[in-house]
Amino acid sequence: MHGRRFEMAGIAALLLASACEKTPEPAATAPPKTTSQAASDKTSPAAAPKPTAATPPAPSDLTWDTPKTWEKVENPSTMRKATYRIPKVAGDTEDAEMSVSQAGGSVEANVTRWTGQFEKAKDDATKRFEKKVGDFKVTVVEIHGTFAGSGMPGAPAAGPKPDYAMLAAIVETSTPHFFKITGPEKTVMAARADFDKMVDSFRAK
């Protein structure tokens, strides 16, 4: 009788051990996320860089204030936008002329070309400086010497014309504007104050 009890007890023990072996182990639980990790999960993708504002194109046309003593005359060439006669001063035999045109070419190339139109240039014959007028970059050029002529249609007759001068302004619009006074030296230099006021009046049209 006791033997049967021991046998039954052994069977029960074996069944219990088998059941324990078949019980699945609990799934591993991930450790809780730290605050920084949680914040990282919520971070949105990096924002795209803001586009750089494009530089606005330079204006294509200009307007200006004409000195009262300058007379607007008919353009001798279709290449000109305007032509002005500047009355001669005492001691000069000719009036000076200011031409306004618009054409391509760099500042350097045009200054070099204009300087080449003067022969027997005086010491420090070519002077230049740059200034800002509103949004415009302006290069002012002054040349003295014997004028040989420009060879351009409608330009003053070819020289040689001693004691001449040129006072010019190059305005860097989309296509540059050229304002040039050419004539007897005294008359050109007498017009310098009016020329400077005109340059300071440049504005987009």
* pLDDT tens digits for range 138-170: 999 999 999 998 765 555 555 689 999 999 999
CA dist 205 and 201 (Å) reads 12
Establish if 37 belongs to a structural domain: no
Residue 63 φ then ψ, to 5°? -135, 165
Does any domain span residue 15? no
- Is 131 a residue whose pLDDT tops 90? yes
pLDDT at res. 59: 77
Percent of residues, the chain, with pLDDT higher than 90:
57
Owning domain of residue 140: 62-204
Q: Over range 182-199, report the average pLDDT.
A: 97
Q: Is residue 177 part of a domain?
A: yes
Q: Is position 56 within any domain? A: no
pLDDT at 23 over 60: no
The band of 15, judged by pLDDT with boundaries at 50, 70 and 90, is very low
Domain contains 12 = no
- Residue 34: pLDDT band (50, 70, 90) is low
In this structure, of 3-17, 42-56, 111-125, 158-172, the range with the lowest mean pLDDT score is 3-17
**Distances from the Cα of 177 to the Cαs of 98, 103, 201, in angstroms?**
13, 7, 14
Secondary structure (DSSP) of 103-150: --S-HHHHHHHHHTTEESPPTT-EEEEEEEETTEEEEEEEEEEEE---
In a domain, 161, yes or no: yes
> DSSP assignment, residue 154?
T
- 94 located within any domain: yes
The domain that holds 189 is classified in CATH as: 3.40.1000.10
Strand partners, 102: 177
99 DSSP β-pair partners: 83, 180
Cα angle vertex 185, ends 94, 76, to 5°?
50
Say if 188 falls within a structural domain: yes
pTM of the model: 0.69
Instruction: Domain count for the chain, please give it.
Output: 1
> What pLDDT does residue 88 have?
98
